[in-house]
Amino acid sequence: MAYPGGVDNPMLNPMGPGAPSLAGLGCRKALVCVAGKDNLRERGVRYYESVKKSGWEGKIEFYEEEEEDHVYHIHHPQSQNSRKMIKRLATFLLDE
């Protein structure tokens, strides 16, 4: 499926041209997870920083597995790093 504007369409890139302000996120908290060897890592870091600077009143946290690549938790769901990331996600979701 192609999107108008390609990868900078606001549906794919919430920091792209014409995207609504991140200050209006419709949730109370967010966890941004990145993998250190992922080509998209920097985009995740920029998203995290942009939300922090946006004036959004929610709670945002950042999680990184430095030695992993894109979607490692799907390709290797039983690995130690995948289990660690899933445990971090579960803890984040259950934490009030």
Which H, E and C letters describe 22-42, residue by residue?
HHHCCCCEEEEEEECCCCCHH
> What is the pLDDT, as a whole number, of residue 1?
65
List the one residue out of 55, 56, 48, 47 whose CA is nearest residue 28: 56
All structural domains of the chain with their residue ranges: 27-94
- pLDDT tens for 22-79 read 999 999 999 999 999 999 999 999 999 999 999 999 999 999 999 999 999 999 999 9
pTM for the full predicted model: 0.88
